[in-house]
Structure 1
Amino acid sequence: GRRPPPRLWLERVVIAERLCPFAAAVREEPRLRLQASRATNEDEAVAEVAAEASLLARGLRGEVEGAPETTLLVFDEGAAFVRGWMDLVRLSWRLQAEAILAGGYAEELQLVLFHPLAVHSAYAQGGEGDEDPADYSLRAPHPTVHLLREADVLEAVRRYPDAAEIPSRNKAALRKQGQPACKERLEGCRRD
């Protein structure tokens, strides 16, 4: 059957382009939970992230058998409340406050955002300035919230040499490939 765009993105962009050297080890269930959001507004999104955070935290504490290690919560691209990159960034402030901090997960979980229109520079929003291929390290076919367990992040960083250099290596590699190649690869995840 046809692979959903988030799965293709994970395989063809994140893993194949080695944007995250830790992703291959957790690419399949039950370690990865790839969840389609049903949220139609910010309040529902907060509730969904809180539920996903609870599942990850309970798994970390051994309270849930077979709990995932990481979750990709994928929003419908037509959802107005996450249509723009800054919409998702603003929502993430609520997610952090109302789902992570309020749930008591600040020491256990992290959130990472991906969006079809994501940019590294806050000053580049609104389509101003040149397209930077490096922005494709933050781009996904759909608005996506990645929930990670802090312990896994710390362990991966401990075991991976020069983990702090991953973002700059990614930016350099994507800039070398060029914007047309990066754009085509991401669009291919939607098409195929």
Structure 2
Amino acid sequence: MTLLTPDAAREAQVVADTRRWLERAVIGLNLCPFAKSVYVKNQVHFVVDFGTEPEALLSTLEAELRALAQADPAERDTTLLVLPDALSDFLDFNDFLGWADEVLERLALDGELQIASFHPQFQFAGTRPDDISNCTNRGPYPTLHLLREASIDRAVEVFPEAELIYERNIETLERLGHEGWAALDVEAHRTTP
């Protein structure tokens, strides 16, 4: 029997929480019709960074963007960079996304890769914090989803009315309601750092 170090145990919990959210919410509710195929083929790479300083997180982001760009898409189609100890305030996270996009542009990878985001307190402009529609972009931890533009293009060919996904997701969540969302148990199951 192998015992995990405290850091390894925390990382395993963060990845387990993220997988549960993917399986139950993103794939289970079909919030992203493109997610299931890459997930079942084990083409999703999980990276957990316990850092808290934006500069260090941007360095990790840069390394992961480079790694994804160089990886064989059949092996790694997408990366989830999970930041469990950083950017807990959604407005700080939103500011960080601007810096993340600057890294993407500096690496000349915009047009090849893009960054999507998820956050436990995600809130669309013009909504109340408790609007169920915000759950479409709520994950257990602040997370950057690094994905290939080519994958998006292929997915849109299969699902040509991709612009309707957002509206369909809101309808799904409104039917589910807050109780139904809570029953999915997709929140973080935090262990002590």
- Name the TM tier (shorter chain): 0.7 to 0.9
1:95 aligns with: 100
Distance 1:141 1:162, change over 3 A: same
Q: Secondary structure at the match of 1:147?
A: strand
Map of 1:58 onto structure 2: 70
Structure 2 CA distance for partners of 1:42 and 1:28, relative to 1, 3 Å: farther
Q: Contact 1:132/1:175 (CA < 8 Å) preserved in 2? A: no
Listed one character per residue, the Cα deviations across residues 123-182 of structure 1 (whole Å, up to 9, x for unaligned) are 55xxxx461111110001111000000111111112213211001100111012112221
The 3-state SS of whatever aligns with 1:27 is helix
Q: Which residue of 1 is the match for residue 117 of structure 2?
A: 113
1:3-57, CA deviations, whole angstroms, 9 ceiling, x for partnerless residues?
7100100101110110011111111575110111132210011111111110111
Checking the alignment, whether the CA contact within 8 Å between 2:21 and 2:186 is kept in structure 1 is: no
Does 2:76 match 1:68? Answer: yes
Q: Which residue of 2 aligns with 1:25?
A: 37
Corresponding residue number in structure 2 for 1:138: 137
User: How far apart are the structure 2 equivalents of 1:83 and 1:130?
Assistant: 15
Q: Which residue of 1 aligns with 2:180?
A: 181
C-alpha contact (below 8 Å) 1:29/1:68 kept by paired residues: no
Distance 1:146 1:72 in 2: 5
SS of residue matched to 1:47:
helix
- 2:97 and 2:118 mapped to 1: Cα distance? 11
Provide Cα deviations, 1:88-125, integer angstroms capped at 9, x if missing partner.
1110100110x20111101101111101100112x55x
* % identical aligned pairs: 29
Q: How far is the alpha carbon of 1:84 from its aligned partner?
A: 1.3
In the TM superposition, what is the alpha-carbon distance from 1:59 to its structure 2 partner? 2.2
Q: Name the TM-score, length of structure 1 as normaliser.
A: 0.84
**Cα distance in 1 between the residues matched to 2:53 and 2:75:** 27
TM-score with structure 2 setting the length: 0.83
Contact 1:140 1:186 in 2 (8 A): no
SS at match of 1:190: coil
Determine the C-alpha separation between the residues in 1 that align with 2:41 and 2:99: 28
Distance 2:25 2:129 in 1: 22
1:86 maps onto 2:91 in alignment: yes
Name structure 1 gaps, 5 residues minimum. Answer: none
